[in-house]
Structure 1
């Protein structure tokens, strides 16, 4: 009888305890994102308003370094984190823990945020030392979608699509331009999303319940709950789809919200 009562109580209490645990992890993650965004802002303060190179260096068989590119759009800009991503990242492969930590320490942002735990959400899978990525539009990996020309981002009206300097974030205001996101199973470079077409590029990422955590150029972080069941389903797949095109109104709403946060506007 006593065992039966305990079992009933556990069945009633466990969902509540799980929700409380998740809310605690979400709050810690939001604080970590704020810490990284503060470091991002401090870097700009000390570098003539230039923001950090938003790419994560990727050379799977190389040392966990964060070199300084000698050519291209990031010439002279050290990578924000070093070489911590494995060649089979899409299948969940990870580099050894010590390599990942060395890569974090090697990055240009580490002097401004030396708490290694701040690079990883508490919900990260075992062996994953970094879950956060920058959004494409914050001096990320230059692409072929017409957002980058030479070493400068294209300006559409007063919106700079690929930001190089913090002062370029005018329209929309800094509170609406995404800097970091909790990608989870990270991909190399920076988090990519299409500009000219209504498609995800990297997969949708679902990290906390049915949403995710993000941070913005004004320093605040926020939890975004997705509206589309297809967004949530795609983000929770064991091997999430790349270049994913949503088909429902709710899924398209999720996509557009992310595109506008990363690029500052829609390109279609």
Structure 2
């Protein structure tokens, strides 16, 4: 009589165990690779927005825009100007929830999604360094070391959107509940920063704090 060929229960369990071990090893690797791709997209966003701000500077007497200002007496968006609104003229994306280029203003790792409205073009996943707003280029002594933009914002839980017009002001992580201003380190523990000279790079909280302590990175001109 011929013996039937097939897996025994023990052999099947061994195969399942091997697959589980491989999955446990590979899935985190794949997750990190996907996040690295999102980080690169975010870094490119900051790079483009940084260059957009510098194009604004070249058109307005070598002076950076303010994060936010409002014409006295104005009660509508016509009298409110946020840095994303003035920068959009140069990056050409169009602001709004249905704008074709809205992704430039959103970090792909940002879990909250697109806001339901754009409130005068103010909502963005990035924030401008308040220490350099309104300053002339000549006032910024170390443009290659001075922060211009960062992944920093304030989340409003009621409105379910980020307020991008708040000032980027430091390295501490954000908090959602209760809402606390802070940086986002969503890219495998790193955040992206754009500098006044136009370049952008990534780093962890420890890296940025160390770089600031050594003078390689500056928050103030």
Partner of 2:196 in structure 1?
217
CA distance in 2, matches of 1:111, 1:214: 22
TM-score, normalised relative to structure 1:
0.55
Partner of 1:134 in structure 2?
128
Partner of 1:193 in structure 2?
169
CA distance in 1, matches of 2:168, 2:199: 21
Partner of 1:14 in structure 2?
27
- Equivalent pair of 1:55/1:134 in contact (CA under 8 Å): no
Partner SS, residue 198 of structure 2: coil
Q: How does 1:249-260 map to 2 (within 5 A)?
A: 253=210
CA gap of 1:221–1:24, structure 2 versus 1, over 3 A, is same
Partner SS, residue 79 of structure 2: coil
- Structure 2 spans left out of the alignment, 5+ residues: 1-11, 94-100, 116-123, 156-161, 175-179
Partner of 1:179 in structure 2?
148
Partner SS, residue 132 of structure 2: coil
Partner of 1:165 in structure 2?
136
Partner of 1:152 in structure 2?
none
- Equivalent pair of 1:56/1:190 in contact (CA under 8 Å): no
- Structure 1 spans left out of the alignment, 5+ residues: 69-77, 82-106, 140-162, 195-199, 229-250
Provide Cα deviations, 1:176-197, integer angstroms capped at 9, x if missing partner: 1111101254446332538xxx
CA distance in 2, matches of 1:3, 1:56: 62
CA shift for structure 1 position 11: 1.0
CA distance in 1, matches of 2:168, 2:191: 16
Q: How does 1:1-268 map to 2 (within 5 A)?
A: 1=12, 2-55=15-68, 65=77, 67-68=79-80, 78-81=81-84, 107-113=85-91, 114=93, 115-128=101-114, 130-139=124-133, 163-170=134-141, 173-183=142-152, 185=155, 186-187=162-163, 189-193=165-169, 202-227=181-206, 253=210, 261-264=218-221
- Equivalent pair of 2:127/2:150 in contact (CA under 8 Å): yes
- Equivalent pair of 2:185/2:204 in contact (CA under 8 Å): no
CA shift for structure 1 position 224: 1.7
Pair member with larger Rg? 2
- Equivalent pair of 2:82/2:165 in contact (CA under 8 Å): no
CA shift for structure 1 position 257: 7.6
CA shift for structure 1 position 253: 4.9
Moved segments of 4+, more than 6 Å = none
- Equivalent pair of 1:174/1:218 in contact (CA under 8 Å): yes
TM-score, normalised relative to structure 2:
0.66
